[in-house]
Structure 1
Amino acid sequence: MSGPALRELRHSAEFEDAFRLFDTIWHPEPGGEPITVELMRVLSHAGNYVAGAYLEGRLVGASMGFLAAPAGDVLHSHVTGASIGRGIGFALKLHQREWALARGLNRITWTYDPLVRRNAHFNLAKLGARPEEYLPSFYGTMADAINSGDESDRLLAVWRLSEPHVAAAARREPYRTAVPAGAATGLGEQDGWPVFGRADAGTVLVAVPADIEELRRRDPDAAKAWRHAVREVLGGLLEQGARVTGFHDRSCYVVERRDIS
Structure 2
Amino acid sequence: MTDKTVILRELSGIAELQHAEVLQIEAWGEGEKPDNSDILMALQSEGGLVGGAFRDGEMLGFVLGFPTVTPGLQHSHRLAVLPKARGLGLGASLKWFQRDWCLARGLNTVRWTYDPLRAVNAGLNIGVLGAVSNQYFVDYYGAMPGINAGLPSDRIMAVWHLEDEAVVARAEGRFKPDHAAAGQDWLEIPADIDALMAADPEKALAERLRVRDALQAAFNGGSRIVGFDRQQHRYLLGR
TM-score, normalised via structure 2 length:
0.92
The yes-or-no answer on 1:251 pairing with 2:233 is: yes
For residue 102 of structure 1, report the CA deviation from its aligned partner.
Answer: 0.8
C-alpha contact (below 8 Å) 2:76/2:112 kept by paired residues: yes
The yes-or-no answer on 1:117 pairing with 2:119 is: yes
C-alpha contact (below 8 Å) 1:50/1:63 kept by paired residues: yes
For residue 113 of structure 1, report the CA deviation from its aligned partner.
Answer: 0.7
Structure 1: which 5+ runs fail to align? Answer: 182-201
Find the counterpart in structure 2 of residue 81 from structure 1.
80
For residue 128 of structure 1, report the CA deviation from its aligned partner.
Answer: 0.9
Find the counterpart in structure 2 of residue 166 from structure 1.
167
**Larger relative helix fraction:** 2
* 1:62-100 per-position Cα deviation (integer Å, ceiling 9, x unaligned): 111111131x21011000111112111111111100111
Distance 1:218 1:90 in 2: 29
The structure-2 alpha-carbon separation of the partners of 1:115 and 1:174, relative to structure 1 and needing over 3 Å to count, comes to farther
For residue 240 of structure 1, report the CA deviation from its aligned partner.
Answer: 2.2
Find the counterpart in structure 1 of residue 58 from structure 2.
58
Structure 2: which 5+ runs fail to align? Answer: none
Which residues in structure 2 correspond to 1:28-43 (within 5 Å)? 28-29=30-31, 32-43=32-43
Amino acid at match of 2:59: L
Distance 1:175 1:226 in 2: 30
Find the counterpart in structure 2 of residue 189 from structure 1.
none
For residue 174 of structure 1, report the CA deviation from its aligned partner.
Answer: 4.8
Distance 1:218 1:69 in 2: 43
Distance 1:231 1:164 in 2: 29
* 1:208-242 per-position Cα deviation (integer Å, ceiling 9, x unaligned): 01110111111110000000110001122112221
Once the two structures are aligned, what percentage of the paired residues are identical? 36
Distance 2:137 2:9 in 1: 32
For residue 123 of structure 1, report the CA deviation from its aligned partner.
Answer: 1.1
Amino acid at match of 1:123: N
Q: Alignment RMSD, CA only? A: 1.6
C-alpha contact (below 8 Å) 2:28/2:80 kept by paired residues: no
Find the counterpart in structure 2 of residue 240 from structure 1.
221
Find the counterpart in structure 2 of residue 102 from structure 1.
104
Amino acid at match of 1:219: D
Aligned residues: 233
Distance 1:4 1:250 in 2: 30
The structure-2 alpha-carbon separation of the partners of 1:141 and 1:179, relative to structure 1 and needing over 3 Å to count, comes to farther
Distance 2:49 2:220 in 1: 31
The structure-2 alpha-carbon separation of the partners of 1:135 and 1:34, relative to structure 1 and needing over 3 Å to count, comes to farther
Find the counterpart in structure 2 of residue 188 from structure 1.
none
| Higher radius of gyration, 1 or 2 | 1
SS in structure 1 at match of 2:133: strand
Distance 1:205 1:34 in 2: 35
For residue 36 of structure 1, report the CA deviation from its aligned partner.
Answer: 1.6
C-alpha contact (below 8 Å) 1:126/1:175 kept by paired residues: no
For residue 250 of structure 1, report the CA deviation from its aligned partner.
Answer: 4.0
Distance 1:93 1:239 in 2: 29
Distance 2:121 2:174 in 1: 17
SS in structure 2 at match of 1:228: helix
Find the counterpart in structure 1 of residue 209 from structure 2.
228
Amino acid at match of 1:142: M
TM-score, normalised via structure 1 length:
0.84
The yes-or-no answer on 1:20 pairing with 2:2 is: no
Distance 2:54 2:222 in 1: 41
Distance 1:177 1:6 in 2: 31
